[in-house]
């Protein structure tokens, strides 16, 4: 018999409340209610309109950085005004209550931190800094992006004049080594692994639930679309994440 929505919420709350080492993996879907577009939704995602290799690859950046920055500019504008939504707040509350050990995120929008999450592992880097590909200097992003948005001038190194690269992971580029190995460690230790707002299509991040399952973790998937891991999940809820996660936290608080 198919489990009802409320029954799934109750079971998810019980699993998270009793977990000793629960970990969350988040993707773009958790930030779409905050007004930040995702990448893979059919017809509406960023990659439904553009080939990512044409805009967010090292090859493109080195050959035509203006093309990359033209794509990045509206995204930065949206991120600048975006605020955490109830799903971000719910994960921060789970951590505060001791029911969540870490958030492993593919997002670069910093909304988890703004919501109050303390232990956030940024697997795809961050827009907080930029690096010079020539002299390897690291520069804070705030002033660079403000000038870029206001004047539409690409950020340049003040020492050598090279165009700066945001410290996010491009296609053809490896994940930050420390972040990746930290994420694998958390996944391997997890007894409950919460997948939120990601279609699990991008390697190697999509392999993290496998590490958790090898530790016999219970897998909870909250995502609008199906994932390759749904059949392995203990619970899979396809609904509005900004509603589902707060409901789970509400049940935990009520039963506490």
Q: Render pLDDT for 161-211 as a digit per residue (tens, 0 to 9).
A: 999 999 999 988 999 999 999 999 999 999 999 999 999 999 999 999 999
With 0-12 / 13-18 / 19 or more C-beta atoms within 10 angstroms meaning exposed / middle / buried, residue 216 is exposed
Q: What phi and psi values does residue 4 have, to the nearest 5 degrees?
A: -75, 165
| Predicted TM-score of the model (pTM) | 0.92
Distances (CA, A) of 8 to 16, 70, 93, 96: 12, 43, 20, 23
Q: For residue 3, how many other CB atoms are within 10 A of its CB?
A: 13
pLDDT at 45: 43
Out of 62, 88, 112, 124, pick the active-site residue: 124
Does the annotation mark 112 as catalytic? no
Alpha-carbon span 66 to 153, nearest angstrom:
10
Write out pLDDT tens, residues 98-129: 999 999 999 999 999 999 999 999 999 999 99
* pLDDT bucket at 38, cuts 50 / 70 / 90: confident
């Amino acid at each position: 018999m198919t489990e009802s929505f409320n029954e799934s919420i109750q079971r998810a709350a019980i699993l998270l409340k009793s977990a000793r080492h629960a970990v969350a993996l988040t993707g773009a879907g958790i930030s779409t209610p905050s007004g930040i577009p995702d990448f893979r939704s059919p017809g509406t995602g960023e990659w439904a309109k553009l080939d990512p290799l044409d805009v967010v690859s090292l090859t493109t950046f080195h050959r035509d950085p203006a093309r990359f920055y033209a794509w990045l500019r509206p995204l930065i504008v949206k991120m600048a005004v975006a605020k955490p939504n109830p799903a971000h707040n719910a994960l921060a509350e789970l951590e505060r209550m001791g029911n969540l050990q870490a958030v492993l995120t593919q997002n670069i929008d910093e909304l988890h931190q703004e919501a109050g999450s303390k232990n956030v592992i940024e697997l795809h880097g961050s827009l907080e800094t930029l690096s010079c590909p020539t002299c390897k200097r690291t520069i804070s992003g705030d002033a660079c992006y403000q000038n870029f948005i206001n004047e539409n001038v690409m950020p340049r190194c003040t020492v050598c004049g090279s165009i700066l690269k945001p410290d996010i992971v491009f296609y053809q580029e490896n994940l930050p080594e420390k972040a990746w190995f930290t994420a694998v460690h958390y996944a391997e230790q997890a007894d409950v692994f919460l997948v939120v707002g990601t279609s699990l299509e991008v390697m190697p991040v999509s392999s993290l639930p496998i590490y958790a399952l090898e530790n016999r973790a219970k897998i909870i998937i909250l995502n609008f679309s199906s994932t390759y891991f749904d059949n392995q999940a203990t619970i899979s809820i396809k609904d509005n994440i900004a509603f589902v996660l707060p409901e789970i936290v509400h049940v935990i608080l009520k039963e506490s």
